[in-house]
Amino acid sequence: MDYRYNNVRRQTNIINDIDWFTIGIFTVLVLLGWLNVYAAVYDEKHASIFSFSQRYGKQAVWIIAAILLAIFICIIDVHFYTSLSYPIYVFGILTLIAVLIVGQEINATKAWFSFGSIQIQPAEFTKIAVSLALSRFLGNYNGRLMELRNFVTVLFIIFLPSAFILMQPDVGSCLVYLAFFLVLYREGLPLVVLLFGLLAVVLFILSILMPILINNAEAYLTFGLILLGFLFFLFKTRRGMDFLKGLGLFTGIFCLFWLINFLINKRFEIHELLLGAILLSAFVFIIASYIIRLPFIRSLTIFIVAALIFTFSVDFMFDNILSAHHRQRILVMLGIESDPLGIGYNVNQSKIAIGSGGFTGKGFLKGTQTKYNFVPEQTTDFIFCTVGEEWGFVGAATVVILFSALLLRLLYIAERQRSVFSRVYCYCVLSIFFLHITINLGMTIGLLPVIGIPLPFFSYGGSSLWAFTILLFIMLRLDASREEYIR
């Protein structure tokens, strides 16, 4: 009998049905993370790894608590997570509001509740709430994601907590919520939406980079954008004649506009010409698309105008939405600014530490960059540089392989789920882990800007360790009951 119509619940045996392979990878990663926290802040006066006055001793407490949480999650009835998905989401939103009012401000970010020596960051746990709420909603509307009402609701579920997190402000945690769009792609979001998102990122970077390299960068960027738009739709529609007609029409309008401007003003300002030519072309394209019935031209025009508006709005977003230190980090990463002793200090020291490890590393507790505290935040955002320095390429590659094995295993688990709720939740977990791992490793070696997100199971801190543990073990609990009817 098809599982969707079988309401008879199969009794789950957690010991036999849970995925022990994933638990094994989790255990190894947590222990390696603990050892590297120990190495990063090792103090000879407190040599015991269980010294609770040091971070490695406190991390041991977080680990024990995480194990207890994992056990508790596994023994709860699986339908607890489906029935309370929405209340958990509402509670998560309330904690984000509360932290803005009574939270403790650290490094200009009001994102933590302080209970004595313990700080809890609700943004880490809200990812769990969003994953559950998204899974519950999509489970109720299987196969109908792209209906306007459903799609708007999904965007609301994702972006509401993001808005409150941005108020803290915590751009790094906010960006993690983009991971949920990977989940939506698996559930029916057209690939073109993801491609447009990627194009927006490219345009954002180029709009920042180009003005430093050439004069009138908006003009060159816009012109390149137009050509890219033509090529994109040519590839999508395979209508070569429409491409040539559109390109010829725009070129003719641009040349005519340039000639009139030159004869009247006796000057040549390419960015003014392009802007005028694009607007005039857009008007002509739209009229032509209705007269000669070429929906390709109409779609192309909308794409160009939207991209143009986005391109010219980058300055506003960059100057008013991103905080000053995030702007500086992006500029340093792109090579526009050089500040090796200021905003770029962390990344430079991290790369030095990783590079100094060589092939096999300097040995456990023998890292000089680590020992003399050259890298700030070495137990949290930059914990991976301790791995590179003390264990070298071999150790760093081993950690990357372990994380890759975890991601592949999560993908395998996600695809074997029978209920939509379980599948969506598993993909939420997979996407969150993927984004955290990619961004953290990328910023540690200087490939991505520093936005301050932890490396799962490695970075010091109870909030991140507990949140990742809860995310993972709810997934394993759902997987253990994959033969049941879950909705």
Residue at which a domain ends, from 282, 299, 320: 320
Angle, CA of 312, 316 and 322, to the nearest 5° = 130
Q: Which of 130-134, 194-198, 458-462 has the lowest mean pLDDT?
A: 194-198
* Among 59-73, 128-142, 150-164, the range of highest mean pLDDT: 59-73
Percent of the chain with pLDDT over 90: 29
Q: Are residues 354 and 392 in the same domain?
A: yes
How confident is residue 105, by pLDDT bands cut at 50, 70 and 90?
A: confident
pLDDT at residue 41 in the model: 84
Residue 69 lies in a domain: yes
pLDDT at residue 291 in the model: 54
Q: Are residues 11 and 116 in the same domain?
A: yes
Average pLDDT over residues 428-456: 88
Question: Among 436, 423, 478, 482, which residue's Cα sits nearest to residue 29?
Answer: 436
Alpha carbons 273 and 222: distance in angstroms, whole number: 11
Q: What DSSP character marks residue 484?
A: S
pLDDT at residue 367 in the model: 79
- Is residue 2 predicted with pLDDT exceeding 50? no
Average pLDDT over residues 82-90: 93
Number of domains into which the chain is organized? 2
Q: Are residues 254 and 386 in the same domain?
A: no
Residue 158 near residue 177 (C-beta atoms within 8 A): yes
Q: 156-193 burial, b for 16+ CB within 10 Å, e for fewer?
A: ebbebbbebbbebbbbbbbbbbebbbbbbbbbebeeee
How confident is residue 187, by pLDDT bands cut at 50, 70 and 90?
A: confident
Give the range of the structural domain holding residue 50, as residue numbers without chain letter. 3-190+332-480
User: Which of the pair, 31 or 193, is modelled with greater confidence?
Assistant: 31
Q: Are residues 408 and 455 in the same domain?
A: yes
Residue 67 lies in a domain: yes
- Is residue 452 predicted with pLDDT exceeding 60? yes
Q: Which of 46-55, 57-66, 313-322, 355-364 has the lowest mean pLDDT?
A: 313-322
Q: Are residues 232 and 276 in the same domain?
A: yes
Check the CA dihedral 71-455-180-322 and report its sign: positive
Average pLDDT over residues 27-38: 94
How confident is residue 5, by pLDDT bands cut at 50, 70 and 90?
A: very low
User: Which of the pair, 279 or 393, is modelled with greater confidence?
Assistant: 393
How confident is residue 423, by pLDDT bands cut at 50, 70 and 90?
A: very high
Q: Are residues 434 and 287 in the same domain?
A: no
User: Which of the pair, 133 or 105, is modelled with greater confidence?
Assistant: 133
Residue at which a domain ends, from 320, 352, 371: 320
Strand order in the sheet with 109-115: 104-106, 109-115, 118-120
* Among 9-13, 60-64, 365-369, 449-453, the range of highest mean pLDDT: 60-64
How confident is residue 404, by pLDDT bands cut at 50, 70 and 90?
A: very high
Average pLDDT over residues 68-84: 91
Residue at which a domain ends, from 298, 320, 342: 320
